Amino acid sequence: MSEPTWSFLTNHAYVLRCLALEPEMTMREAAERIGITERAVQRIVTELEEAGYLVRQRSGRRNRYLVREGRPRRAMDADLRLAEVLGIDDSPRLGGRGVSRHDSFVD
């Protein structure tokens, strides 16, 4: 059987996962890892920022990204936590806030 050409997760989910696991990852690195163009990653990051799922912070000459828990876009997803969907460890630390192993996942 051949490999499917589709994926269960969207490119938006892959970008969020990359930046949650490696908050200082560059757009180029994310593009290479996901298999899309750098420009597509930049567009997705902008959309995720506008939707409130991502916060960009300057860290010297680079950006650092914080992935935030947000409300699901569809009612049927109301019981899903973003960390679960992305497969990120968000075990409670620091006053019960969900934080990934790289301190990039915040409530």
Beta strands 62-68 and 105-106, pairing class: parallel
**CA distances from residue 5 to 8, 26, 37, 77 in whole angstroms, order as listed:** 11, 26, 17, 25
Q: Which CATH architecture has domain 11-106?
A: Orthogonal Bundle (1.10)
Please tell me whether residue 82 adopts helix, strand or coil conformation.
helix
Estimate the crossing angle of helix 38-50 against helix 27-34, to 10 degrees. 110
Per-residue pLDDT of the chain (107 residues; tens, 9 = 90+): 888 888 888 999 999 999 989 999 999 999 999 999 999 999 999 999 998 889 999 988 899 999 887 666 666 666 666 776 666 765 443 233 333 444 333 33
- pLDDT recorded at residue 95: 30
- pLDDT recorded at residue 59: 83
pTM above 0.75, yes or no: no
